[in-house]
Amino acid sequence: MPITNTSHNTSGNLVVTVPKESTFKLPEGKYSAKIKSVRKLDKQSARGPTTFVRFHFLANVPGLERFDCLAKADFPLNLESGTDLRNIINRLLGKAYLTSLSGQQFGLDALVGTECEIEVEHVNLDSRESFDFPLVVVRNIQEPGSMCLTSTIKPSVKLD
């Protein structure tokens, strides 16, 4: 962001806005969100590479409005009936949406900007002993209006 002297500033002081910091350190809770990005991702397994889809969410966390609160969720790239990815898309766009595209192409980028609600939980793993914050996992993704959203957070959440 370029630094410019604003015309509203008559004292001659140079005043600039500091861009929002991004953080994945979210407290547990249920938040309104929107899908910020969708991308393809290959993960290695014993049987070779597996293709996943990674959703990045921009969450509205009470008390952390000055930050871009981010969360992610990964799903195997599979739109067969009953798969996690298909179920999520059906919840967000309606079951008829993918049904109407039967046998056709669907660009997952169409989900960017979609409003939703997410539930975030913390998972403590022995292998994360060296981290100062637990693993943050998106446990649930629903259409707007489905969840009773978290209205306050515990002040113990540190972002530094």
Q: What is the tens place of the pLDDT at every residue in 66-78?
A: 999 999 999 999 9
Instruction: Report the pLDDT averaged over residues 110-115.
Output: 97
Strand-strand pairing, 115-123 and 29-45? antiparallel
93 within some domain: yes
Kindly report the backbone phi and psi dihedral angles of residue 149, in degrees, each rounded to the nearest multiple of 5, phi listed first. Answer: -75, 150
CATH of the domain at 44: 2.40.50
Domain that holds residue 89: 21-102+109-141
**Confidence class for position 132, pLDDT limits 50, 70, 90:** confident
Residue 8: predicted pLDDT: 57
Q: Decide if pLDDT at 27 tops 80.
A: yes
Dihedral through CA 110, CA 111, CA 115, CA 121, nearest 10? -170
Residue 7 maps to a domain: no
- Domain-embedded: residue 131: yes
Interatomic CA distance for residues 58 and 35, integer angstroms: 6
Q: How confident is the model at residue 152 (pLDDT cuts 50, 70, 90)?
A: confident
**How many domains does one find in the chain?**
1
User: Which pLDDT value is given to residue 129?
Assistant: 64
How does the average pLDDT of the chain come out, rounded?
88
Confidence label for 124 from pLDDT (cuts 50, 70 and 90): confident
Per-residue pLDDT tens digits for 86-107: 999 999 999 999 999 999 999 9
- Does 123 have pLDDT greater than 70? yes
What residue has token string 């595209």?
101
Q: What H or E segment, with its residue span, contains residue 109?
A: none
The reply to whether 127 falls in a domain is: yes
Cα(59)–Cα(135) distance, integer angstroms: 16
